[in-house]
Structure formats: C-alpha cells, structure tokens
Amino acid sequence: MPRKDMLLSMLAEEPEDVFFNYALALEFISENKLNDAEEQFLKTIKINSEYLPCYYQLAQTLEKLDKKNEALEYYKKGLELAKKQKNQKAIGEINEALEMLNDEL
C-alpha cells in the first residue's frame, strides 16, 4: 500500500493525530500538490499549534506558492515557538530562511 494511502487510512481512524496530518502534508509536497500541502499544514497547526516542524514546512510551501508575505508570517511564528521551546537548531534554520526571504522582498 502506498504511503499516502496508509496515512489516509490511519487518519480515517485518528483524524486529529498531529503526526499523521503532518506526514500527509509532506506527501502532498512530494506529489507537488502544494495547495493541498498548505491546507494540510494549516489543519495540523489547528490541531496542535505547538508542533514546531509544521511552521517551517508551511512557510517553505507558501514561498513555493509565491505567498511570500504569508511565508514570512509563519517563519516568524515558528521562530517565536522555537525560542519558547529553546530549540536552537530550529532557531538557526528559521533565521536562515528568514534572511533569505527578506533578501527577496
């Protein structure tokens, strides 16, 4: 069974599972279904606003969709959360992405 189908099956049983929702969004990215990925990342954040990896991936997706201002917003939210969680690796990654995006704006 393909990974996406497995995730959809698991989500049918556990629709509020954060990881399954996040993983489905990543599957949409691998299929280049960026609008679906955006929607799925937003759903994941709605389920758990503390799920840090989602903010970076959502911002990356928004950049690809040429929604740079929205991407900036989610990078900033992710940075705040990373600082709150004292996640130095995420702070560094998000700061780097913010610098690159700010250079484009």
Nearest to 83 by CA among 62, 58, 41, 52: 52
Alpha-carbon distances of 72 from 3, 4, 44, rounded to whole Å: 31, 29, 18
What is the rounded distance in angstroms from the CA atom of residue 65 to the CA atom of residue 12?
A: 28
Give me the domain span that covers residue 12: 3-104
- CATH number at 96 reads 1.25.40.10
| Res 69: pLDDT | 95
For the whole model, what pTM was predicted? 0.93
Q: What is the tens place of the pLDDT at every residue in 47-64? A: 999 999 999 999 999 999
What is the total count of domains within the chain? 1
What is the rounded distance in angstroms from the CA atom of residue 44 to the CA atom of residue 23?
A: 10
